[in-house]
A and B are shown apart, each in its own frame.
Chain A
Amino acid sequence: MLRYIQMRLLSAIPVLVGVSLISFSILHLIPGDPARILLNNMGSGAAGDSSDQAYQNLRAELGLDDPLVVQYVQYAMNAAQGDLGYSYTTSQPVGSTILNLLPSTLQLTVFGLGIAIVLGVFLGVIASMYRNSWVDSLTMMFSLIGLSMPSFWLGFILIDAFSFRLGFLPASGSSGIRALILPAVSLGLMAAGVVARLVRSTMLDVLQQEYIVTARAKGLRYRTVVMRHALRNAVIPVVTVIGLQFGALLSGAVITETVFARRGIGRLAVEAILSRDYPMVQGTILVAACGYLFINLAVDVSYAWMDPRIKYR
């Protein structure tokens, strides 16, 4: 098991290098010179000897005159130490800005994932128990609508219903559990649709197995067979999808944070792209991709814990 974790960590290294390369390339692939963009953002884009001197100084300061390999190594070493450069618009360190906003985004994603798992597993189990009945059709239609609905529109509907009309919950903001409920529901419903469809499908497979027939023949109640015998075995493929859904929720947070005016790294990334704050874009992309990579590693490792038959070599 420990060896497997070591192997998976080692195999993550080339991917991490690739992710950092892509993040590093953003600054070099954008049209225009980063130093000029920074000077324009600072409002010092005027022509003249003094601005030329400022431009040359800035290029040297940013290390843009060094060969690309040197620049990348410097970038990777700084990133490994948490130094992701300075924002073009606020001049604040990118690392600490992201670190301040990360808990808010993680809170939203984890809460959304919780809603997706609870609702998705419940709907999937109910649909498989009442296969081909109206309950099955209704739950599957609900999950299909959840999959088809734009999360930003769902967010608006929730704000309209629960904030404006009923006044139960705040429409925006980042503080407190009450401000988290609507964004998490809006984020989690789509993933709940995916989970529900998969749980139904795997449950139907498992319910046809011989050990289920044996359990039923022993006289166990159907509900006990479903909950104790079938669900535990149907859950492994679901964990894979939950790992993938975490990524989908992480990227969905980009839109949800904008709809609910919530502080977080998703909204930070969009604002950074729109204001051409490239160090901030690089930082948010790098942090999100690394987070996703480690979540998938955790999902892989959790298989062994859930299913002792799985032996990693």
Chain B
Amino acid sequence: MAQVLAAASAPLHSQPVRTRNRARAFFRELSKNPGAIAGLIVLVILVLGAIFASIITRHEPNIINPPDRLQSPNSEHWLGADPFGRDLYTRLVYGARVSLPVGFIAVLISASIGIVLGLVSGYYGRVVDGVIMRLIDIMLAFPGILLALVVVAILGPNLRNVMIAVGIGGIPRYTRLVRGSVLSSRELLYVEAARVVGVPDRKILFRQILPNVVGPAVVLSTISIGSAILSAAGLSFLGLGAQPPDAEWGSMLADGRQFLRTDPWVTAVPGVAIMLTVLSVNLLGDGLRDILDPRLRSQ
């Protein structure tokens, strides 16, 4: 009798334990990948720096100070000063507040719209699928930054529109990925059973099918953040994103390009920051992909 009671109550008690064990196993797997750990540490430092920017800096990021113009790194300006005399270290730290979220928000836009389109397209099929996939084909005809250029041309050049533009550019990859998974998931027995007992389509899509297809989408998101940060920095570099005097790494690089020969640190500081961030995101993304989707594990 006691055994029966214990067995009956086991799932209730073991649920949090199982979750905790799974989280522990996840971090144990992650800790085996030194690249992913290095990436995570750099990202945590960058995020903390962005949050506590006002505490860890001594200057104002946007106030012009002509006497300090183009100073090389010294005790007052650790990473030097830009052509307007603004402290580069301060602008770098405040720039993280802009450059980091841009990548994450753009990927969030791509993932949320792309996943919904993929679910609907794969589940309903026929005309709906045809229309959505032709739309995706058209979007895919605009490679990389070109679709973002169309969106910026229509909405106008600013940082918010760059996030939207880069986000829209990423939609087709999610739609194609999720549609493929939905096509196989919708034939599963429990999905058919749910349909037979009259569960509404919306519930089937989001409660039964979505959990099955969300894994690969999460993997895609982790490896897309880096390229989203690069695209957004590129658009800001072209003058289509963050507008002066806001500190953003891409536009900081553009500010320093006239002084490349005489004062190379003005471009080196934001350049290293972008590369280090994207490299960290890519390393972490590779590590997460290996854990979350062993089928894609790099050999």
**B135 to chain A: which residues have CB within 8 Å?**
18
Q: Is the CB of A247 within 8 A of B144?
A: yes
Scan residues 13-32 of chain A and give those whose CB is less than 8 A from a CB of chain B. Answer: 14-15, 18-19, 22, 25-26, 29-31
| Residue-wise interface mask of B (272-299) relative to A, using a CB-CB cutoff of 8 A (1 in contact, 0 not) | 0011001100110000000000000011
Interface size class on chain A is 35 or more
**A159 to chain B: which residues have CB within 8 Å?**
260
How far does the alpha carbon of A298 sit from the alpha carbon of B143 in the complex, in Å? Answer: 16
Q: Is the CB of A15 within 8 A of B137?
A: yes
B117 within 8 A of A: no
Binds A, one of B46-54, B196-204, B206-214, B236-244: B236-244
Interface size class on chain B is 35 or more
Query: How many residue-residue contacts, CB under 8 A, span A and B?
Result: 142
> Nearest B residue to A197 by beta-carbon distance?
B298
> What's the dominant secondary structure at chain B's contact region?
helix
Q: Is the CB of B260 within 8 A of A156?
A: yes
| Residue-wise interface mask of A (243-263) relative to B, using a CB-CB cutoff of 8 A (1 in contact, 0 not) | 010111011101100110000
Q: Is the CB of B157 within 8 A of A273?
A: yes
Q: Is the CB of A278 within 8 A of B153?
A: yes
How far does the alpha carbon of A201 sit from the alpha carbon of B239 in the complex, in Å? Answer: 38
Q: Is the CB of A147 within 8 A of B282?
A: yes
- Residue pairs across A and B with Cβ atoms less than 8 A apart, 15 shown, are A26-B150, A147-B282, A148-B226, A148-B275, A164-B261, A204-B299, A205-B299, A247-B143, A247-B144, A251-B143, A251-B144, A254-B234, A259-B257, A273-B152, A274-B239
| Chain A interface residues toward B at CB < 8 A | 14-15, 18-19, 22, 25-26, 29-31, 131, 144-145, 147-153, 156-157, 159-160, 164, 197, 200-201, 204-205, 244, 246-248, 250-252, 254-255, 258-259, 269-270, 273-274, 278, 281, 285, 288-290, 292-293
| Chain B interface residues toward A at CB < 8 A | 134-135, 137-138, 141-146, 149-150, 152-154, 156-157, 226, 230, 233-234, 237-240, 250, 253, 257, 260-261, 264, 267, 270-271, 274-275, 278-279, 282-283, 298-299
